[in-house]
Amino acid sequence: MERSPKILEKQLYDIWLKQEFCQPLTTVSGEEVVVLDTGIVTPDLSGPDFKNARIRIGNLTYVGDIEIDTNYTDWKAHGHSIDNKYNKIVLHACLHNKHEQPFVYTKEGRKVHTLDLTEHIDSNKLENIEEEVHVVEQKHSQFLKCAESVVEIDYKIKEKLLSELGFKRLDKKCKRIYARLKELAYLKEMHVKEPVVGYELTRELDEREFTHEDFQDRELWEQLFYEMVFEALGYSKNKNIMLHLAQSADISFLRKLGLDDEFTERVESALYHIGGLVPELDSYPGEEIEKYVRKIEEHWDNIRRIYDAEIYDETQWHFFKLRPQNFPTIRIAGGTRIVKEILYGNLIDVFVKKITEIRNFNVLINILRSILVVKSDGFWKHHYVFDKPANGEIKYFVGVSRADEIIINVLLPYFTIYFDVFGEEALAKKVFKLYAFFQQKSENKIVHEVAENLGVGNLTKKTLYQQGMIELFRNFCSKGRCMDCEIGKMVFD
């Protein structure tokens, strides 16, 4: 798991709240800082650390937000410079500022003073904090409570448990996908608009018995796949809003946009506007940006006439602590191209054909992976956000690692249900075996730590065991359910 930084930001928050400074505060540029009100800690940590603070810098009094980082470079690294949530920042404080940078800049381009905390915190206090952090890190270095004793458990027992949990995790995904399929069928039958099924419909939905005849409508499967892919593209931080976006701008709506050379641009326009991600720019920093934004604005003028569902807000999206490659702007660009294949490339039929015809699992996996990898093109090949070019070319909207995640979390459970619903038992079993065979290329910190603590490092590449380790940690270890775990019972009984 990711270790705590040398000085925890939480410790810096406490110092700020108590104003435990050894000398009067001054910015890196030499301006005196007087704190009139420290502000209120942001409860969900999804924006600036302190809201509604009052400070005086030089002769001017400011009311706004405070951001405290461990390193000066975190301002850009965490995406604050391109996030509207940070436009009300009036002071940026950090512990380390190697090059003594005096300012940071908000997305609006406003210059904000930086305060170097190292000069204002007593050296003994800093040493005490470092020691406290060291103790905490040592305490948590053993990721699992059973780490010291589990080495005595037979390897085969651990392998068997992880295999069972891996299959259990697949089963959970299948049940969730089937439940959503039934919900979609019921919504369509009742002519109910997304994004939610009302509470009063829940009982009727639960009591309804479905047959494969209820799922003959191709659009149900297209919508289901579209939703699941967009959720997977959202990662943990944006998966909910990506899912809601796919439910609001559903497949039937996107089909109405019509197919021609500007289809991709129109879908991007729809999704970015519905998602609330298109900025209101008074001026454009470059000809390419101006051309693209004006073009999707023109598309939206026409599209909005046929759209009557929810419009979201930029503040509902997370850019904080995301690599630019994982920004929702890039993931929507990738998702747009997958949607085009769903609608006009018979993508679901292509997957069915490949799974049905290809016997060699290694060949099949490589083909499935290659279908889901999306190379970059157009405006987003050179931009992570609307109003600023990227430093270099973006090669992929969806790379190999994310394609693997989609295969594991979407494709395999989706087609397990698909073949099961239509009575293709042999193909459903084939997908099940493919899941047990699959080896993904991406690394996972939870998997690494669980494997190290259990002493099963040789199992980390195989998806079945990876998923088992995630299931073990999330549903047993992290919840203190040691006595519900077969290994925990052996160790602690």
Q: Where are the domains of the chain?
A: 9-139, 146-210+443-493, 217-437
Rounded percentage of the chain residues whose pLDDT exceeds 90: 66
Residue range 421-450: average pLDDT?
Answer: 91
Does position 117 have pLDDT exceeding 60, yes or no? yes
Does the pTM surpass 0.75? The reply is no
Does position 390 have pLDDT exceeding 80, yes or no? yes
* Span 392-433, pLDDT tens digits: 999 999 999 999 999 999 999 999 999 999 999 999 999 999
* Span 58-68, pLDDT tens digits: 999 999 999 99
- Indicate the average pLDDT of the chain: 89
Specify burial of residue 475 (Cβ count, 10 A radius: 0-12, 13-18, 19+). middle
Residue type (1 letter), 207:
E
In order, the DSSP letters of 352-417 are HHHHHH---HHHHHHHHHHHH-EE--SGGGSEEETTEE-SS---EEE-HHHHHHHIIIIIHHHHHH
Does position 113 have pLDDT exceeding 60, yes or no? yes
Structure confidence at residue 281 as a pLDDT band (50, 70, 90):
confident
Q: Which pair of tokens denotes residue 348?
A: 């679901």
Does position 39 have pLDDT exceeding 90, yes or no? yes
Secondary structure of residue 21 in the 3-state scheme: coil
- What single-letter DSSP state applies at residue 439? B
User: What local confidence, expressed as pLDDT, does residue 12 receive?
Assistant: 84
User: What local confidence, expressed as pLDDT, does residue 143 receive?
Assistant: 66
State residue 178 phi and psi, 5-degree precision: -65, -40
Structure confidence at residue 207 as a pLDDT band (50, 70, 90):
confident
Does position 161 have pLDDT exceeding 80, yes or no? yes
Distances (CA, A) of 37 to 15, 62, 64, 404: 14, 10, 10, 49
Specify burial of residue 423 (Cβ count, 10 A radius: 0-12, 13-18, 19+). exposed
Structure confidence at residue 134 as a pLDDT band (50, 70, 90):
low
Does position 203 have pLDDT exceeding 90, yes or no? no
* Span 330-384, pLDDT tens digits: 999 999 999 999 999 999 999 999 999 999 999 999 999 999 999 999 999 999 9
Q: Which pair of tokens denotes residue 460?
A: 């980390």
User: What local confidence, expressed as pLDDT, does residue 98 receive?
Assistant: 84
User: What local confidence, expressed as pLDDT, does residue 45 receive?
Assistant: 57
Q: How far apart are the first and last CA of the chain?
A: 28
Does position 11 have pLDDT exceeding 90, yes or no? no
Residues 358 and 311: their CA atoms lie apart, in Å, by: 43
Does position 119 have pLDDT exceeding 60, yes or no? yes
State residue 374 phi and psi, 5-degree precision: -120, 115
User: What local confidence, expressed as pLDDT, does residue 132 receive?
Assistant: 67
Distant-in-sequence, close-in-space partners of 54: CB < 8 Å, separation ≥ 6: 35, 36, 37, 39, 61, 62, 63
Q: Which pair of tokens denotes residue 334?
A: 């990738």
Does position 6 have pLDDT exceeding 50, yes or no? no
Structure confidence at residue 44 as a pLDDT band (50, 70, 90):
low
